[in-house]
Amino acid sequence: MPTIRFVDVTNRDGEQTARISLAKLQKTVINWLLDEMGVYQSEMGFPLSPHEWNYITANVALTEDTGDNGPLIKNLQLSGWSRAVAADVRQAQAHTNLKHFNLSISTSEQMLEWKFRGRFSREDIVSMMVESVVAAKEGGALSIGVNAEDASRTDIDFLIDFAQAGKEAGADRFRYCDTLGYEDPIRIADRLGLIARETQMAMELHCHNDLGLAVANSVAGALACCEEGVDALINTTVHGVGERTGNADLLSCILALKYSAKWGQNPYVDENIDLSRSGQLARYVSQAFGVPLPINQVGIGANAFAHESGIHADGALKDRHNYELYHFEELGRGAKEEVPTGRVITTGAHGGTSGLEYVYNNQLGLAFRDADHAKETLRLVQYANLHTQAPLTKEELWLIYHYPEQTRQILTTTP
């Protein structure tokens, strides 16, 4: 049976959003938490960029056998975005150990004329894409997606030819990029269904939210692909962060596929998804980006399960199904959060050994083997705090303790 999986692009498309950014350590924790949630793949960054090389290499190492601790990232695939240019792909593979690639090139007449200034024909675009796929395969890539940027404004027959050429060259899936958020659910379902039917290739949907339709378009398009017998992959970001008005929100897409009136009756959603981890992921990403969650954010906003109206409160107390589609506990919510009002001990760039030991012992239940172990951890904690420019979270402190070698590499941004 076809399956709908999720390729989260928070660490690539989300992280390149104007006015916000992530430190490499924060991107690593996001990969870890995406893995815990059962997400299929993380498009983790740009393997052509030298400042990404150490982070990428260390994260791939965290998917492998790392001694007594085992792999931190157990099932999540780590992929990189590259232009569909063979030279770029070769350089990315020369400097990183990534095995999964998404290769992107513009396809619409708008882009060919006004972005490329007429330098490339449609035939050139296909040729460049095919050459990049061949280069990736020769370099040992295990999976390859070919991305048609501005697909929603591209002639459908050309998209079919583009996808088919990619498949014949060795690509595993075709990414339909609604780069400007131009689509609507009916049109994207029709177009994706046709491409899927003609190519019998896995389809990937990359939808932006300029018209507020990214989630609806992603879900409608993915289901249309499955109805044609092929797998669908939905690109998401946590909280829908992304360029301009953002991308499709991860949690919203999952909930729509589970609980909406028609779409929720589908049998295709990836069974590995664990919604109980969504609360932890939501809180971490909000803090990492420094962007507070709107109170009405789907599933994890402060008001997502709040009722004040007398009629609503009465109904929810009698039976939650009266005014709630899904249970807060399913999303990992409901635990009480305590805020200390007395003495607070933190550790970071200016911390010392006593404070470090207090934080690790009392907040994480971790002890140090000896004085040298504490000294090594303190040094990494200090640099990590300078690296993130934010108070270190429990997730970050835990990662530093258990994976010091990879942490040291992640904190080193010069190649």
Of 43, 47, 41, the closest CA to residue 77 belongs to: 41
Question: Which tokens in the block code for residue 27?
Answer: 């991107």
What are the tens digits of pLDDT across the range 362-396?
999 999 999 999 999 999 999 999 999 999 999 99
Name the DSSP letter for residue 269: B
Give the model's pLDDT for residue 337.
82
Which positions ≥6 away from 349 have C-beta within 8 Å? Answer: 382, 383, 385, 386
Q: Which residues of the chain fall short of a pLDDT of 50?
A: none
DSSP 173-200: EEEEEETTS---HHHHHHHHHHHHHHH-
Give the model's pLDDT for residue 375.
97
**Measured distance CA(151)–CA(13) in Å, rounded:** 17
Give the model's pLDDT for residue 406.
97
**Measured distance CA(286)–CA(292) in Å, rounded:** 6
Question: Which tokens in the block code for residue 371?
Answer: 């004085």
Of 129, 109, 130, 131, the closest CA to residue 118 belongs to: 109
Cα Rg of the chain, angstroms: 22
**Measured distance CA(267)–CA(272) in Å, rounded:** 13
**Measured distance CA(335)–CA(132) in Å, rounded:** 49
**Measured distance CA(103)–CA(89) in Å, rounded:** 8
Per CATH, is 4-273 categorized as 3.20.20.70? yes
> First CA to last CA across the chain, in angstroms?
44
Phi-psi region of 239 (alpha: psi -120 to 50; beta: other; left: phi over 0): left
Domain boundaries, the chain: 4-273, 281-331, 353-407
Give the model's pLDDT for residue 321.
96
**What dihedral angle (degrees, nearest 10) is formed by the CA atoms of 303, 305, 308, 313?**
170
Give the model's pLDDT for residue 68.
82
